[in-house]
Amino acid sequence: METTEKQGHKITQQMLKSHSGEFDVESIHTLALPGIGIEDLGCIGECTGLERLDFSDNALTRLYALASLTNLVHLNLAGNNVSSLDGLQTLDNLQSLNLAGNQISSVDSLRCLTSLEKFTDLRLLDVVHQQTNPVCTNNLYKSHVVALLPKLVILDGTCMHCVYAIYIYIYIYIYIYIYIYIYIYIYIYIYI
């Protein structure tokens, strides 16, 4: 009985085939294994055709086994125990990554994502599901993340371009207000 429990916490070929309905693990394009207590990614690296992967709400700590999944586009690791992203730097096609509810303690932990040209969507905080990371306790974490990953379009579900557009609008509004104030001051000073 103890062996069966152990196998339930490690990815096996049998598990991959039964959850995907595919005969060959190389043929699996989408795989969802949320909330089943996975601790060890086992043979997941054999699923070289994977494009979408959901390992949310498991017990993962290490991601090295994902390094060979170069076709991966969307990766959901929310609700695990991940503190290091080593292994993700080779995922050249990765566009979105959900890390809410993990143990990411510093922005520097995200450095391995800087080489990913297509990477545009990162979630570290999920207010709806009350999932966060230790790094999110720093009020300036978003600006630090954007500085590290300038190609990000979406951070924690917020369009960063929209945020910057609002900042620009506010800046222009303040600039115009100051200009009008100076103009009125000069007018009053010269003519009155």
Whether residues 48 and 64 fall in one domain: yes
Q: What angle (nearest 5°) sits at the alpha carbon of residue 142, between those of residues 141 and 145?
A: 85
Together in a domain, 63 and 136: yes
Amino acid at 21: G
Distance of alpha carbon 62 from alpha carbon 40, whole angstroms = 8
Name the least confident of 1-15, 16-30, 68-82, 146-160.
Answer: 1-15
Nearest to 108 by CA among 65, 66, 148: 148
Q: Are residues 118 and 176 in the same domain?
A: no
Q: What range does the domain containing 175 cover?
A: 160-192
Question: Could you report the per-residue pLDDT of 42-84, keeping only the tens digit for each?
Answer: 999 999 999 999 999 999 999 999 999 999 999 999 999 999 9
Report pLDDT for 177.
Answer: 80
Burial degree of 40 (CB within 10 A; 0-12, 13-18, 19+): middle
149: domain CATH number is 3.80.10.10
Q: Rg for the chain (alpha carbons), in Å?
A: 23
Question: Do both 181 and 134 map to the same domain?
Answer: no
Q: Are 133 and 99 in contact (CB under 8 A)?
A: yes
Distance of CA 2 to the CA centre of its chain: 35
Confidence bin at 181 (pLDDT 50/70/90): confident
Predicted confidence band of residue 182 (pLDDT cuts 50, 70, 90): confident
Structural domains counted in the chain: 2
| pLDDT tier, 148 (very low <50, low <70, confident <90, very high otherwise) | very high
Pick from 61, 131, 144, 43: nearest CA to 31: 43
Q: Are residues 101 and 63 in the same domain?
A: yes
Provide, for the chain, the percentages of residues in helix, strand and coil under a 3-state DSSP scheme, each rounded to the nearest 5: 40, 10, 50
- In 49-192, which ranges are continuous DSSP H helix? 141-148, 160-191
**56 & 118 share domain:** yes
Same structural domain, 117 and 22? yes
Q: Across the strands, what pairs with 31?
A: 53
- Encode pLDDT of 110-126 as tens digits: 999 999 999 999 999 98
Tell me if 68 sits within 8 A of 43, measured CB to CB.
Answer: no
Q: Answer yes or no: do 50 and 121 share one domain.
A: yes
**Are residues 97 and 30 part of one domain?**
yes
**Cα end-to-end span (Å), the chain:** 94
The verdict on 74 and 141 lying in the same domain is: yes
Asked whether the beta carbons of 39 and 62 are under 8 A apart, the reply is no
Same domain, 114 and 170: no
Q: Which helix (H) or strand (E) holds 155?
A: strand 154-155
| Cβ within 8 Å of residue 62, ≥6 positions away | 41, 84, 86, 87
- As a whole number of angstroms, the longest Cα–Cα distance in the chain is 94
pTM of the model: 0.80
140 and 126 in a common domain = yes
